[in-house]
Amino acid sequence: MSSEDRQRGEQIRSMIVDALGHLADPADRQLVYLQGLFGRSVLPADFNVDELALELNDVALAAHLAVAAGGMTAEAASAVARVDEALAAISGTANAPLWTVTALFDALEWERIRGLAAAALALL
C-alpha cells in the first residue's frame, strides 16, 4: 500500500468522523452547526436539516476504501453503514416531517440516529 493510499484512507476516515460527530451531537449543537453552515442566525422550525445526513452519505460509500487503506476497521465501516441505513430508513416524502429543526429536538428517530452515530464514533 502506498503512502498516497494511506493518506486517502485517513482523509476519508476524517471526513466520516466529522459527519458522524455532527450526527451524534445533541439537537442544540446540531442546530448551531446548521446555522453556521447556512450562514443564518435563526432557522425556521420547518427548515430542512437533510444536510446532516448528506454529509455522511457523501463519504459513507467510501468507507471500504478507508478500510483497505488501513484508515479504519471493517467493524467501524459496518457501524458507519448502520448509521447511513438508519438515515435512509427515515428518508422520503412520507417522512418529510422528520427532516425539520423541530424533529431534531422532538423525534425519537433522531435520538436513535445520535446513538448509532456515537457508537460508530467510538470505533473510530
| Residue ranges per structural domain of the chain | 3-122
Phi, psi of 48 (to 5 degrees): -75, 125
Give me 56's grid cell: 455522511
End-to-end CA distance of the chain: 21
pLDDT band at 47 (very low <50, low <70, confident <90, very high): very high
Q: Which amino acid, one-letter code, is at 4? A: E
Cβ neighbors of 30 (< 8 A, separation 6 or more) are 22, 23, 49, 52, 104
- pLDDT 10s digits, 79-96: 999 999 999 999 999 999
**Inter-residue contact 106 to 49 (CB < 8 Å):** no
pLDDT band at 21 (very low <50, low <70, confident <90, very high): very high
pTM metric for this prediction: 0.94
Give me 82's grid cell: 448502520
Residue 42's alpha-carbon distances to 31, 39, 45, 53, 96, in angstroms, are 9, 9, 9, 20, 20
Position 1 scores a pLDDT of 74
Q: Is 5 a residue whose pLDDT tops 90?
A: no
**Inter-residue contact 74 to 118 (CB < 8 Å):** no
Give me 106's grid cell: 422532538
- pLDDT 10s digits, 101-110: 999 999 999 9
pLDDT band at 6 (very low <50, low <70, confident <90, very high): confident
Q: Taking all residues of the chain, what is their mean pLDDT, rounded to a whole number?
A: 95
